[in-house]
A and B are shown apart, each in its own frame.
Chain A
Amino acid sequence: MTTTTPARPSAPPAVRRRQPGASRRQAAPWGFLAPAIVLFVLFLALPIAYAVYLSFRTEKVSGLGLGSGSRTEVWNGFANYAASLADPEFLASVGRVGLYGVIVVPTMLGLALLFALLLDSRRSRATKFSRIAIFLPYAVPAVISSLLWGFLYLPGVSPFYYVFERLGWDVPSLFSSNLVIFAVANIAVWGGVGFNMVVIYTSLRAIPSELYEAAELDGCTQVGMAWRIKIPIVIPSIIMTFVFSMIATLQVFAEPTTLKPLSNTISSTWTPLMKVYRDAFIRGDLYSAAATSVIIALATFVLSFGFLRLVQSRAFGQEK
């Protein structure tokens, strides 16, 4: 008996002793999960269900709309969705955020990857200082960073305009309608590059050094090593940072809301989420705001799952 299972000589007594705890063992994980599940249902699942419910409802006004009984909630089918999708303000905000994402995500991740590779390269100096400095903006809330950059964009305050003026250049205001999207994008890049750099850098540090030694023996340069070894290995990290950046981009809200008082080119429907906020809390039209937020949530899901599926079949498909 013991000779057939030499690796686990104590197995039979352990099994016998485990018996009384078996049912307890089935209940325990649910006990540990209970707080998370309750909070998940209350603050994630239920709000989503409620938003979906509201998105199919509307308020019907009878008579003059005065008095408590004159407004009743009724089913509205897909009318809210149709109205949302046909709303030029919404479509404009989606287009704007699409362009914004095309600017922000590649720039931010490109810089994050570049900095991470440079931090990891043995030929760089001042790496500790640079790492802390580039990571620092992560500690600054988007509202505060928008506020700081907002002042730096004002021609009266900005050092850039000061220099341009001395040089006699006539540079258009960053708050003009063509450039304001870059002004907002810069804030997002500034705030996000350090965090993504640290994520990629951490995965670079997990690469076993034997790989480098082998590559060095083969006469591989630092740049060659970055392209052929480092980048392929950190691709999964880059994919995840890409997905999270994409989700964050679709819900951009704090930056343009903070910049709004400094610039008259940012409307109250500048991004889809700003439009949701305005519809719900300024216009009091919860139903169309709910429909719009369901559309944003669905779009986010489709984009992030679609992207993960795409890269999974490309990058991870052959692993199975």
Chain B
Amino acid sequence: MTTDAAETALVAETAGDRPGPVARGGRPARRAPRTGHRSAGERPSGTATAILLVGALYCLLPVLWVVVASTKSGSELFSTFTFAPSTHFVENVSDLNAYRGGLFWRWMANTALYAGVGAMLSVVVSAMAGYALAKYRFRGKSAVFNMLLAGVLVPGVVLAIPQYLLLAQIGLTNTYWAVLLPSIISPYGIYLARIYAGASIPDEIVEAARTDGASELRTFAQVAMPMMAPGLVTVFLFQFVAIWNNFMLPYIMLGDDKLFPLTVGLSGLLNQGASQPALYTLVITGALLSIVPLVALFLLLQRYWQVDLAAGAVKA
């Protein structure tokens, strides 16, 4: 039995990861594709299906509402039935475009920049660290791993204030860097990458690359990275969504609304709406447009995950 607190977490996590979210990546799925399993001929249950559909409706309700509400004019918003659509969608979008010279689209571009570049850099950093932790034996390895693992459990948001103060001292607050740099380090991403590297890269292949005279860096970039790729897609998506959805970090770091991501921008707009209800239609239309890219990415990504699961099944 281990006594150290970090070790405790490590054991529980490793026990937890076996069938956990990581199974999506390089880990082979042990079960045959579900279609064959289902055709075994069990009669469908109305109750089970109904519960699932109620859950689906609950989850879709606010999204359906924002689609309908974005077609309403400011006065209709509070006067017509919630789900009665209207005809002002184009008008609302052009109002939003006109708002302070297209500031909304600037927020959209900023968000894409923070999430895209941040997640990409995060994947590279996590993949390198995960590979080193999974495929090398060296002194201090377990200390490094426990330190990073403790980082998984650090309430990230509590860091925002000291991060602000430190970045303020080197004059980086209220710049793109203030949001981008703290987003690159992801202890959870490193933890996942370590599991993917351990599960998907056979030691013999790394050894073979070395005996062929490949440098360590080249072995990593050209042999290990491609094998870890499906898992790294998951790390990328986790981090992309985390940065896209982040509110407190940019809220604290940024003062200039030209640097805002969507979350901070729309929250500010809602705040102003309390005194100018005319802004509510802008907020609602903005909310709809801001979830479109991520929802689109998710529907695409859904296919990626299935490919991923299928790839795992093929390997098994």
- Which A residues have a C-beta under 8 Å from some C-beta of B? 14, 17-18, 21, 24-26, 28-33, 35-37, 39-40, 42-44, 46-48, 50-51, 54, 111, 114-115, 118-119, 121-127, 129-130, 132-145, 147-152, 156-159, 162, 190, 193-194, 198-199, 202-209, 222, 233-234, 236-237, 239-240, 243, 247, 250-251, 253-254, 257-258, 260-262, 273, 276-277, 280-281, 286, 289-290, 293, 296-297, 300-301, 304-305, 308-309, 311-312, 315-317, 319-320
Contacts and interface: CB of A to CB of B under 8 A. Distances in A.
Given A125-B44, A205-B309, A254-B247, A40 B147 contact: yes
Interface string B184-228: 110100100000000000000001001100001100100000000
A151 B42 CA distance: 43
A25 B194 CA distance: 18
A135 B246 CA distance: 18
Nearest to A236: B16
A129 B299 CA distance: 11
Given A47-B159, A149-B62, A114 B31 contact: no
Contacts of B63: 136, 140, 148
A239 B12 CA distance: 9
B247 A320 contact: no
B87 interface: no
B298 A36 contact: no
Contact of A300 (B57, B155, B298): B155
A282 to B, nearest CB: 12
B21 A206 contact: no
Closest 8 CB pairs of A and B: A203-B19, A47-B162, A133-B56, A32-B132, A36-B129, A123-B45, A236-B16, A29-B136
Contacts of A261: 270-271, 273-274
Contacts, number: 355
B233 interface: no
B102 interface: no
**A contacts with B: majority SS:** helix
Given A35-B129, A289-B161, 10 more contacts: A29-B136, A33-B133, A124-B49, A126-B49, A139-B298, A159-B82, A162-B82, A205-B29, A208-B31, A254-B263
Contacts of B290: 141, 144
Nearest to B83: A159
Contacts of A119: 52
Contact of A253 (B129, B162, B248): B248
B126 interface: yes
Given A28-B136, A123-B45, A148 B66 contact: yes
A320 B7 CA distance: 14
Given A46-B166, A130-B55, A35 B294 contact: no
B53 to A, nearest CB: 6
B307 interface: no
Contacts of B65: 148, 151-152, 159
Contact of B187 (A30, A40, A159, A239): A40
B302 A305 contact: no
Contacts of B20: 199, 202-203, 236-237, 240
B132 A29 contact: yes
Interface in B11-46: 11-13, 15-21, 23-24, 27, 29-32, 34, 37-38, 40, 42-45
